[in-house]
Amino acid sequence: MRLIKNKIEHNGSGAVTLFPEEPEDMWHAYNLIRPADLLRASAIRRVTTVQDTGSTTSTRVHLNLEIRVKNLDFDPQSSALHVSGQIINETPHTKIGQFHTLDLELNRNFTLEKEVGANGEGVGWDSIAVEMLKDAVDEGGKRRAEAVAVVMQEGLAHICFIGQFQTILKQKVEMSVPRKRQGGGDHDKGMGKFFRVTLETLLRQMEFNTSITSSSNNESVRPVLLASPGFVASGFHKYIQSEASTTTPGLKRLLPSMVVIHSASGYMNSLSEVLQSPAVKTLLADTKYARETRLMDDFLDQLRKETNKATYGPREVESAVDQGAVGRGGGVLIMSNRLFRSQDIAERKRWVTLVDRVRDVEGGEVRILSSDHESGKRLEGLGGIAALLTFPIIEEDLDSEEES
């Protein structure tokens, strides 16, 4: 995403104009845009006009509409963001107060304005929002290429794209492969079919051109991680090799970027294991999700060791922060960005305050994990918030209901 114009005032109000370039930018926009913000973008609206005679004509007009955001709808699979709200600028075709849903498009500017209201109507550009904006704006396009992971087991494959900020499950291939039986060759046949379907699906999702002539743009091949328990992934790799050498030579371009990794199962749960494998670490080096994954592992390690230097859950973490345990010298507050996506402004304020406090007052580190990543998902299970503490604290029994 490119930052076109930045007019953020000191008090936190102001507007930015952004230019989304790739699908993941939509995810950033989804995190940036909050209800009650003002969003201005180009739109196509069908306008119905009624003549004096009573006949109606309906035309589609291009408009620049500004809406006050009511609702956001994000589809991670297609990276499409729909923002609905009430129109606040008047145009020849629309009235103020009419509802409109803006579909943000790639390569088309949009302007996002956040206001600071008198009594909590808007929080403006708080530290989290500014942080997110920084994350979203790609300085100099040095973003890492995303990887494609195929997590599979017999008869089941999950094809997912691992991006900087999200892991998108693109497609799940599920097929009933007959088990081995006395004297039956059905299993091998079934596996062959399963491999074929998985490869077809993978190529379709990668939009990989298998024709030999398209080898000119072969620099854009993303790494493909094949992970499975047992021998499924290696079998799949072998299958692709044989396909490349026989029917579809175009696949040869794909082969060098393929890595076979072990995973415990064919479900998305085992993606963390995939991301931690040495082969992937060298391949993807120090990417954000690798760091996040490592952080989560550290945290869980601490938890496992029962050193009392790790805690999770909203109340527990807040009380730890109150005790000053998340401070300088190793205190890390780990939060899922889902918490900041809350529709409830007070809720968001609560977390922003906590983050600001840890960062600015306590001097601890704050990591905001993407909820669309494997590590973020693990964090979600712990209530979306956890902390590594500088000193062990004994927790009193908190009988109050834990927030989900």
Partner 1 sequence: MSRSRVKNVDFEDDDYYDDDGYESADPEEQEHLQRCTNEVLSQLRTGQPSLTVSKEEVQEALWHYYNDVEKSVNYLRGSHTLVGRKKKKFKNNRLRSKVCSAIINIPRCVGRFSLAGLENAIALERLLALDVIMALNSNLGFIKGVCLGVWENVLTGFLVPVYPVPLSPPSAHFSAADFFRDSPWLNVPSHRKADILVEPLYPRLGLLGGAPEASGKMSKLAALAAARKQKESGQATSNTPPASTSESQQPEKAKISLKDRLAASSKAAKPSEGLAGLQSIRRSAKPSPPAQKPSSPEPTKVVPTPAPVPKDQPEELVDDKEEPQQQIPEIRAQPSMFASAIIGSQTGPKMAEPSRLHSNHVDLLQIYGVDHAEPFDFSEPSPDDVVLKAQSTAKGFKSKTPASKAGGDKKGQAGLAGDMNNLSVEEKVTVKSKNLDVLAEYNKSKRKRSANFVVIGHVDAGKSTLMGRLLADQGAIDQRTLDKYRKEAEKIGKGSFALAWVLDQGSEERARGVTIDIATNKFETENTAFTIVDAPGHRDFVPNMIAGASQADFAVLVIDSSVGKFESGLKGQTKEHALLVRSMGVQKIVVAVNKMDTVQWDKGRFDEIEQQISSFLTTAGFQGKYISFVPCSGVLGDNISRRSEDSNASWYTGRTLIEELETSEPYTHALEKPLRMTIGDVFRGGVQNPISISGRLDSGSLQVGDQILTMPSGEKAVIRSVEVDDDSSDWAVAGQNVVLNLANIDPIHLRSGDVVCRSSSPIPTITTFTAKVLAFEHLMPMLVDIHRGRLHVPGRISKLVASLDKGSGAPIKKRPKIVAPGTVARVVIEMDTAVPLEAPTRIVLRTGGSTVAAGLLE
Q: Computed from CA positions of residues 293, 298, 303, 309, in that sequence, does the dihedral angle turn out positive or negative? A: negative
Is residue 270 a contact residue for partner 1 (CB under 8 A)?
yes
Is residue 394 a contact residue for partner 1 (CB under 8 A)?
no
**Of the two residues 31 and 371, which places its CB atom closer to partner 1 in the complex?**
371
**3-class SS of residue 202:** helix
Among 377, 385, 387, 390, interactor with partner 1 by CB under 8 A: 377
Among 20, 124, 235, 376, interactor with partner 1 by CB under 8 A: 235
Determine whether 276 is exposed, middle or buried from the number of CB atoms within 10 Å of its CB (0-12, 13-18, 19+).
Answer: middle
Mark 190-229 with x for binding to partner 1 (rule: CB under 8 A) and - for no binding: ---------------------------------------x
Minimum CB–partner distance for residue 234 and partner 1 (Å): 10
Q: Who's near 75: CB < 8 A, 6+ residues apart?
A: 81
Is residue 309 a contact residue for partner 1 (CB under 8 A)?
no
**Number of residues near partner 1 (by CB under 8 A):** 43
Among 40, 288, 373, 378, interactor with partner 1 by CB under 8 A: 378
**Of the two residues 185 and 256, which places its CB atom closer to partner 1 in the complex?**
185
Q: Computed from CA positions of residues 342, 295, 77, 151, in that sequence, does the dihedral angle turn out positive or negative? A: negative
Q: Judged by CB under 8 A, which stretch of 111-119, 246-254, 350-358, 390-398 contacts partner 1?
A: 390-398
Which residues in the 311-350 window bind partner 1 by CB under 8 A?
Answer: 311-312, 316
Is residue 396 a contact residue for partner 1 (CB under 8 A)?
no
DSSP 145-166: PPEEEEEEETTEEEEEEE-SS-
Minimum CB–partner distance for residue 317 and partner 1 (Å): 12
Asked whether the beta carbons of 343 and 137 are under 8 A apart, the reply is no
How far, in Å, CA of 198 to CA of 28, rounded? 30
Strand partners, 46: 60
Phi, psi of 36 (to 5 degrees): 80, -5
Is residue 352 a contact residue for partner 1 (CB under 8 A)?
no
Is residue 145 a contact residue for partner 1 (CB under 8 A)?
no
Give helix then strand counts, H and E, for the chain. 10, 16
Q: Judged by CB under 8 A, which stretch of 83-91, 230-238, 246-254, 334-342 contacts partner 1?
A: 230-238
CB atoms within 10 A of CB 349: 14
DSSP 84-131: EEEE-S--SS--TT-EEEEE--TTS-EEEEE-B-TTSS-B-S-HHHHH
Mark 274-303 with x for binding to partner 1 (rule: CB under 8 A) and - for no binding: --------------------------x--x
**Of the two residues 188 and 360, which places its CB atom closer to partner 1 in the complex?**
188
Which spans of this chain sit near partner 1 (rule: CB under 8 A)? 174, 176, 178-184, 186-188, 229-231, 235, 262-265, 267-270, 272-273, 300, 303-304, 306, 311-312, 316, 377-378, 381-383, 395, 397-399, 402
